[in-house]
Amino acid sequence: MTAVPADAAPVIDVLAAGKAYPNGTHALDPVTLTVRQREFVTLLGPSGCGKSTLLKMMAGLLAPSCGSVRTAAVRSGFVFQDATLMPWATVRANVRLPLDLAGHERIAADQRVDQALDAVGLPGTAGQRPRELSGGMRMRASLARALVNEPELMLMDEPFGALDEITRNRLDADLIRLWEERHLTVVFVTHSIYEAAFLSTRVLVMSARPGRIASELVIDEPQPRSESFRGSTRFAYHCRQLSALLADAEAAGAA
Amino acid sequence: MSNSVKVSDIAAPLAVGVAVLLLWQVLITVLDVPVYLVPSPLRVAQALVEDRELLAASLWVTLKVTLAAFALAVLLGTAAAFLFVQSRWIERALFPYAVLLQVTPIVAIAPLIIIWVKDMQAALVLCATIVAIFPVISNTTLGLRSVDPGLADLFRLHHATRWQTLVRLRIPGALPYFFGGLRIASGLALIGAVVAEFVAGTGCNGAGLAYQILIAGFQLNVPRLFAALFLIAVAGVALFLVMAGLSRLALRGWHESELGG
């Protein structure tokens, strides 16, 4: 598939929502945006641009200090910067947590855990503790936990930022496959231009002090994107564009 | 954990102990130190064997006080910790009094407690509990508060109830701190029991090890004094080992403190 039609149903509506803290820090100037079904929207920007703040407002973890955020998704999954697994629990218990908290029956829940672990490429690890896994595997377990209640919307906060580039590329490729197979809508936060260009259908370029959305770039490339896309001139072209938009945003902020 | 590491873990301190005992025995013999000043290890061992019934009975009395106080400290201390984490306000209001309890020397308040509490056994347990409770309160409170903020967010995202968050997140996360508190508290309960016995002086219903030390001191029966001292030390080490074992059982496989080595 290519670009999402403009009349696809909105999943998230952000209306002039901003965040300021009582101590006077403006984390995010009011922004307005709509995320539509089946979109892969990336918030790209330097640290301090409010991209994580915006994502947390979308998740309902943070209340906007002005404006409103409406989410139409019935089920959503959140993936954190770190794997954020419970060290005392097995991989199975960690992935099952959303189902346990919702009061699902154990046996059916365990089947869904196995399916989720298979989907993220972690079969046979259910009985292990998080510390027995590598960083990349822990992140996969975290991904499985977010997928286990079959969400329509995935909110991801720099999920692969702590991984080495080789592992990150592999996880990015798996993520795009899951997005395709499971008809997900994804909002993804990153400070990597390459990651944004590889994954997104649309990139919102953000800038810091004050945090705001500076510009937008639609990446209209066929899906599913494979490793060969990384080597293509089209990919290089999008990266260059994003790079220029980031530089513009910074220059505008400094002025 | 390899076998060789385990052997040296035991062998090294054992070698030091044997060497010290040998040196001690030799020095006493060579310098001809009178037994009422410093007895030789062999004389202490002899006292241990000869007075075994008396000392075993006293050890049991002291251990009963210690274990009762320890159990009470863990129960009340954990309850206090759960109360404290319910709200910052409660903690702010009550924590200074826990600190007050901690910094007041037990020797200074034990006479009062012994006057106020009719039952001597209960008075001794109360004194030892006061000594042992603080590390349980402070460690468990710290543990219950030390929740990974990411995991706390995750539980919030999934609309976890207060109860679910407590049972699935706060309590497991607090276990390493809790067991750290138990290790300290077990030793303090023993110290508290011994100190309280000293203050109580005469043992009315069954004399503990501290009482034996007092009496042996009056009678210049120094070998028995050393034997009682030895038993207190052994009891302390045994308590510590039991706590370490419990901690290992509970944290094995996931917490840094119980991995490797």
CA A207/CA A204 separation, integer angstroms: 10
Hey, are the CB atoms on B158 and A129 less than 8 Å from each other?
A: no
Residues of B in contact with A100 (CB under 8 A): 168
B254: nearest CB among A61, A87, A102? A87
Residue A90 has what pLDDT? 95
Judge if ipTM > 0.85: yes
What is B20-48 written as a DSSP string? HHHHHHHHHHHHT--TTT---HHHHHHHH
Q: Check whether residue B19 and residue B93 sit in a common domain.
A: no
Residues 6 or more apart in contact with residue B136 via CB below 8 angstroms: B73, B74, B76, B77, B78, B81, B178, B181, B182, B185
B 221-260 residues with CB < 8 A to A: 253-255, 259
Domain that holds residue B27: 1-32
Q: Check whether residue B150 and residue B169 sit in a common domain.
A: yes
Tell whether the model's pLDDT for residue B205 goes beyond 80.
Answer: no
Q: How confident is the model at residue B86 (pLDDT cuts 50, 70, 90)?
A: confident
- What pTM does this model have? 0.84
B155 touches chain A (CB under 8 A): yes
Note the CATH architecture for domain A1-74+152-255.
3-Layer(aba) Sandwich (3.40)
Residue B168 has what pLDDT? 95
Over its length of 255 residues, how does chain A's per-residue pLDDT go in tens digits? 455 667 788 999 999 999 988 888 888 999 999 999 999 999 999 888 889 999 999 999 999 999 999 998 678 999 999 999 999 999 999 999 999 999 999 999 999 999 999 999 998 899 999 999 999 999 999 999 999 999 999 999 999 988 999 999 999 999 999 999 999 999 999 999 999 999 999 999 998 878 889 999 999 888 778 888 988 999 999 999 999 999 988 887 665
Q: Check whether residue B23 and residue B148 sit in a common domain.
A: no
The residues of chain A that CATH labels 3.40.50.300 are 1-74+152-255
Phi then psi for residue B140, to 5 deg, are: -65, -40
Type of residue at A34: T
- Which residue in chain A is spatially nearest to B167 when comparing CA positions? A101
A165 touches chain B (CB under 8 A): no
Q: Check whether residue B162 and residue B213 sit in a common domain.
A: yes
A84: nearest CB among B150, B164, B259? B150
- Chain A nearest-CA distance from B202, in A, is 49
Hey, are the CB atoms on B254 and A129 less than 8 Å from each other?
A: yes
CB pairs under 8 A between A and B: 47
Hey, are the CB atoms on B175 and A86 less than 8 Å from each other?
A: no
